[in-house]
Structure 1
Amino acid sequence: MSSILAINKAIGDFVWGWPMLIMLLGTGLFLGFRTRFIVIRKFGYILKNTVMKMFSKNSGGEGEISAFQAVSTALAATVGTGNIAGVALAIAVGGPGAVFWMWLSAILGMTTKFSEVILAVTYRTRDKKTNAYSGGPMYYIERGLGQKWLAKLFALFGALAALGTGNMTQSNSIAQSLNTAFNIDMKVVGIVLTVLTAIVILGGIKRIGQVTEKFVPLMAAFYIVGAIAILCINAGQIPNAFGLIFGSAFTGHAAAGGFAGSTLMMALRNGVARGVFTNEAGLGSAPIAHAAATTDHPVRQGLWGVFEVFVDTLVICTMTALVILVSGEWTSGLQGAALTTKAFQSGFKGGHYIVSIGLTLFAFSTILGWSYYGEKCTEYLLGEKFVKIYRLIYIPLVFVGSIGGLQAIWAISDTVNGLMALPNLVGLLFLSGVIVSLVKDFFKDPDRIRQNEEYMEAIPDKYKPRDVE
């Protein structure tokens, strides 16, 4: 086991290090140039057609769940402990300048997520018997590129990553947080979490979507309102916080208090890593949920991918960062969730409960979202009949994770989570022509509702889905 973990660590250092960060950012930049940075140029239109239409009924198209239910499921999986503990770690190690690089990576990540969702809807399939939709990187790699072996590799990584990163590490974070804040026995937390998880995921994507469309806005609002309250109390410190962010983005930051000091490279690496790995742009997970959305055009659903990154990183992560900076606790020497907790507590009495409850809600939502990702990856690899078996494995692991069991699996799943990006990036790069064609097709008349996949006419013949009847 020790040799396996040593190999895993070596691979993990690669997939979560500079090589992968450069590949993810480079892909976002490449896609940005190819689409002429449409995400930035049309950002106002995107917000108008997502934020302003969150609860509206779909006006046309095909799918299994609403567009908002799809993005809620994706956000449920994306918004997790990284938004609380990860941002704090980035600042504690890289200094305030890390926040600037987090923003930059999010801007590039919006184009990447936009592109992933476009391909997921374009190459999705529908089961004629159940009317269930399936899509994601494994489908656009196989049906668009014709590389089934690479598609299976992605699905294998996704199914394994869901068990640890999407499940056990999240349940453990919840159990530890509630034990620390309210002295609740971790086993009790594990039992309750397991039951709640089973109730939701046994109902499939429709029930997950119904739960997350209500749960995600509430959990985000709870945390954001708490953060805004602290920022209002410390309004005079906000300009100084932004000064720290921009002032040290290109220089690093000297040691102060318990803060050990940082260099430009430390700020850049930690900020970029946090931006990339909180919104998961390029990893290929979220497109699996978006593929089930009711929509008339892939690009219309792609707008929700942009919204997803915007909310996750530019809103929630930024709130966490500003609270930490205005509190002054970033120089205390604390890291991770402990730093965020101390920052909120310094804002007002009982502020630490916001972090504890917020972390619990974020982590639980991640468990729900990743259960669907794992199921769809398993279904692609082994067939629909194995989904029930996967659930029978996934649900008990919620309890196992909550009490800190099988930590070796956590480490391995963290590595395969990063490995998911490799086949996905291949698909994005080689299918970028499809993305460009569909973007042009959509924005010629963005308000027209298409019927019966009319957008397929815009796809170059060599990239037409290979198994369409």
Structure 2
Amino acid sequence: MESISNFVGWINGIVWGVPMIVLILGTGLFLQIRLGFMPIRKIGYGLKMVRRSRVPDDIADGDITPFAALMTTLSATIGTGNIAGVATAIALGGPGAVFWMWMTAFVGMATKYAEVVVAVKYREIDDRGHFVGGPMYAIRNGLGAKWGWLAAAFAVFGGLAGFGIGNMVQSNSISEAMNTAFGLPGWVSGVVIAGLTGAVILGGIKRIGAVAEKLIPAMAVIYVVAVLIVLLLNLTALPGALMTIITSAFSPTSAVGGFAGAAVMHGIRYGVARGIFSNEAGLGTAGIAQAAGSTRDPVYSGMIGMMGTFIDTIIICTMTALAIMVTGVWSSGESGAALSAAAFESALPGFGSELLALLLSVFAFTTILGWAFYGERCWAYLFGTRATMPFRILWTVAVFVGTVVTLDFAWLVADTLNAFMAIPNLISLIALSPVIVALTKEYLQRNERG
């Protein structure tokens, strides 16, 4: 087992090395330039579209509202990546990693916009009457049948990655948080989480969307308020924390306290990797959810979809990072969720770590729901809708398994599969960029005239 783990670790080091960083950031920057930096210029417009998308459009085609689709996307991204992932990036890459998470998000807004546009543009209706889309359909229908192998590759990588990154990793995080904060045995957490997961995903995207639409906004507000309290209690340390993040992005971080120090390249690598883990820009998953959303225009869906990256990384991840920095725990030697918990406990002694455990658990649970839909769509693409129910049952069982086993290896495999998901998606976005630009220009011109 050790030799297998070392081999996967070696592959992980390659796929998350300089070439992958260049591919992810380069694709996002390429799309930003091609779009005239529209995703950044239209942040205000995007937020307005998000508010409007709550109201169902009876004329538009889709299974759920665009807002519910966005909340499904956020349910899959706001979770372990925002709490444990940010802390891990700081612990391994230094404070400068946060800066590179920001950069990943700003270029990633263009990437996510593009992947939603093509997902909706090339979506289909399956044999059960549901709207389906995502990178596999965009590749097959946009690039042509000869690229079918690349579409299938994405579906395989996405279908497998889900069981790690979106399932067992999440349920394991919940189990550990509940055990640490409240002494709850892992199997008890497993039974509860698996039962709740099964109850939701058996209802398909409409039930997942309904749950996400109510749960995600409420939990996000609670989390932001909690972090704001931490920041207000350490307000004088805030300017220094921001300066440390920026300066560390371009110079090595010296060893301090329990922190071993980090080179600039470590900051870039972990910032980009954890940024992608957090907002999934470049993985293509947002397109799978938004393709189910009711819409009259792919660009409209893209405007809403790109705001997921802004909300997830620029707002939620930044809040977590600042809480860790202003409380001074970033140099304690802790990592992952334990580091975030230490920040909360430092500012809110007696209940801070318990509060974070509850928030992390709910966020991780919603991630399980969002990724259940992604995985289901990947396997349905490969084997047809008959694979839906067996997948949902297997997914629910895997949730329980994740709570009672050690998952260091699963984290490693999931991280690697994320990179393998990104490659086919990014290739298709570059190839389909003329279509994306043309649709965007047409939409903006039409709306400016209107």
Instruction: Pick the TM interval, shorter chain.
Output: over 0.9
Distance 1:424 1:336 in 2: 28
Farther-moved stretch of structure 1 (93-102 vs 390-399) = 93-102
Shift of 1:307: 0.9
- Quick check: 1:64 aligned with 2:70? no
Residue in structure 1 matched with residue 446 of structure 2 by the alignment: 445
Distance 1:400 1:437 in 2: 47
Distance 2:78 2:9 in 1: 25
Distance 2:104 2:423 in 1: 18
- Unaligned 5+ runs, structure 2: none
Residue in structure 2 matched with residue 117 of structure 1 by the alignment: 116
Residue in structure 1 matched with residue 141 of structure 2 by the alignment: 143
The answer as to whether partners of 1:99 and 1:271 remain within 8 angstroms in 2 is: yes
| Residue identity opposite 1:430 in structure 2 | A
Q: Residue 257 of structure 2 aligns to a residue in which SS? A: coil
- Quick check: 1:392 aligned with 2:393? yes
Residues matched between the structures, number: 447
Distance 2:53 2:358 in 1: 25
After TM superposition, the score normalised by the length of structure 1 is: 0.91
- Quick check: 1:155 aligned with 2:155? yes
Map 1:127-206 to 2 at 5 A: 127=126, 130-146=128-144, 147-206=147-206
Residue in structure 2 matched with residue 462 of structure 1 by the alignment: none
Distance 1:182 1:230 in 2: 22
Distance 1:382 1:404, change over 3 A: same
Farther-moved stretch of structure 1 (78-87 vs 3-12) = 3-12
- Quick check: 1:106 aligned with 2:105? yes
Farther-moved stretch of structure 1 (423-432 vs 2-11) = 2-11
The answer as to whether partners of 1:168 and 1:410 remain within 8 angstroms in 2 is: no
Residue in structure 2 matched with residue 460 of structure 1 by the alignment: none
Distance 1:407 1:97 in 2: 25
Alpha-carbon displacement from aligned partner over 1:313-372 (angstroms, at most 9, x marks no partner): 001100000101110111212111111111111111211122211210111111101111
Distance 1:347 1:77, change over 3 A: same
After TM superposition, the score normalised by the length of structure 2 is: 0.95
Shift of 1:290: 0.8
Shift of 1:272: 2.2
- Quick check: 1:250 aligned with 2:247? no
- Quick check: 1:371 aligned with 2:369? no
The answer as to whether partners of 2:117 and 2:436 remain within 8 angstroms in 1 is: yes
Distance 2:403 2:118 in 1: 36
Residue in structure 2 matched with residue 467 of structure 1 by the alignment: none
Distance 2:412 2:241 in 1: 35
Shift of 1:406: 7.7
Distance 2:131 2:382 in 1: 16
| Residue identity opposite 1:44 in structure 2 | G
Residue in structure 2 matched with residue 73 of structure 1 by the alignment: 72
Distance 1:54 1:245 in 2: 35
Shift of 1:158: 0.9
Distance 1:352 1:410 in 2: 23
Residue in structure 2 matched with residue 33 of structure 1 by the alignment: 33
Distance 2:326 2:412 in 1: 34
Distance 1:417 1:97, change over 3 A: closer
Distance 2:9 2:261 in 1: 27
Shift of 1:294: 0.4
| Residue identity opposite 2:124 in structure 1 | T
Distance 1:354 1:420 in 2: 34
Shift of 1:304: 1.6
Distance 1:42 1:165 in 2: 31
Distance 1:328 1:6, change over 3 A: closer
Name the structure where helix makes up a greater proportion of residues: 2
Shift of 1:96: 1.9
Shift of 1:4: 4.6
Alpha-carbon displacement from aligned partner over 1:112-140 (angstroms, at most 9, x marks no partner): 0000000000000013x633011000000
Distance 1:215 1:308 in 2: 15
The answer as to whether partners of 1:64 and 1:131 remain within 8 angstroms in 2 is: no
Residue in structure 1 matched with residue 240 of structure 2 by the alignment: 240
Distance 1:42 1:215 in 2: 27
| Residue identity opposite 2:262 in structure 1 | S
| Residue identity opposite 2:225 in structure 1 | V
The answer as to whether partners of 2:198 and 2:393 remain within 8 angstroms in 1 is: no
Farther-moved stretch of structure 1 (59-68 vs 131-140) = 59-68
Distance 2:362 2:18 in 1: 31
Residue in structure 2 matched with residue 402 of structure 1 by the alignment: 403
Shift of 1:268: 2.2
Distance 1:300 1:34 in 2: 18
Distance 2:129 2:13 in 1: 42
Residue in structure 2 matched with residue 383 of structure 1 by the alignment: 384
| Residue identity opposite 1:370 in structure 2 | W
Distance 1:160 1:265 in 2: 29
Map 1:449-460 to 2 at 5 A: none
| Residue identity opposite 1:421 in structure 2 | A
The answer as to whether partners of 1:96 and 1:248 remain within 8 angstroms in 2 is: yes
Distance 1:5 1:102 in 2: 27
Distance 1:415 1:243 in 2: 32
Distance 1:108 1:380, change over 3 A: same
Distance 2:89 2:407 in 1: 27
Shift of 1:58: 2.9
Distance 1:338 1:323 in 2: 13
Distance 1:37 1:408 in 2: 39
Distance 1:41 1:414 in 2: 32
Farther-moved stretch of structure 1 (6-15 vs 162-171) = 6-15
Distance 2:43 2:295 in 1: 20
- Unaligned 5+ runs, structure 1: 450-469
Q: Residue 446 of structure 1 aligns to a residue in which SS? A: helix
